[in-house]
Amino acid sequence: MTPEERVEAMLLSLDGLSVGDCLGERFFGETEAAVERIRSREIPGPVWRYTDDTEMALNVVETLLAHERIDQDDLARRFATRFTFDRGYGRSTYEILSGIREGHSWRWLSQSAFRGRGSFGNGSAMRAGPIGAYYSDDLGRVAREAALSAEVTHAHEEGIAGATAVAVAAALAWRCREASPEPREFLQQVCELVPPGYTR
């Protein structure tokens, strides 16, 4: 892929991620009401606000544009700088990013979360799509860069595996964008690059 093609793929992935995030955010609330709106295929009214998932994906994109790789220190700085209180950050991520703002090491903060096990929430996966699109011509690199991006806030191996799975799926989706893949084969290709464990 040319540098221009990488950026195009990444930005299209970010578009999809952000629209899906904004749409999904409109369905938070009482479960029965959300299910009924989904059944009736209701299109939610305004305002469609994006959450922490898009905010952090924007940081991932900025880091890739600046370095053409995931520079963990730069990504941690960007996460902490753009962190706002109104985007729905999870408690663990909130604490990690607040700590980074106070000058603490992101490595220590991420690894010490959840009594030293690290977070294995879905936040690292939610922001990983643009990484897969950016490196879609090199699935091994997709997995490595996704792991690096996850580790900044989700040091648990399952948090890393989730980011890897989504990034690899995004890469494969970009590769087969002209034709629908066979679902079982698609998922098998994703699993081949996800480390052994619960997520796989």
**What's the token pair of residue 75?**
């990504």
**pLDDT tens across 9-42, in order?**
999 999 999 999 999 998 888 899 889 989 999 8
Residue 22 CB-half CA count within 13 A: 13
d(CA 28, CA 53): 14
pLDDT reported for residue 84: 86
Averaged pLDDT for residues 141-162: 97
pLDDT reported for residue 88: 87
Averaged pLDDT for residues 107-132: 92
pLDDT reported for residue 18: 97
Entry pTM: 0.91
Confirm if 194 and 162 have CB atoms less than 8 A apart. Answer: no
pLDDT reported for residue 96: 93
Burial tier of 117 (Cβ tally within 10 Å: 0-12, 13-18, 19+): middle
**DSSP calls for 107-125:** HHHHHHHHHHT---SSHHH
* Model confidence at 120: pLDDT above 90: no
**Which domains, ranges and CATH numbers included, belong to the chain?**
3-21+51-193 (1.10.4080.10)
d(CA 6, CA 54): 19
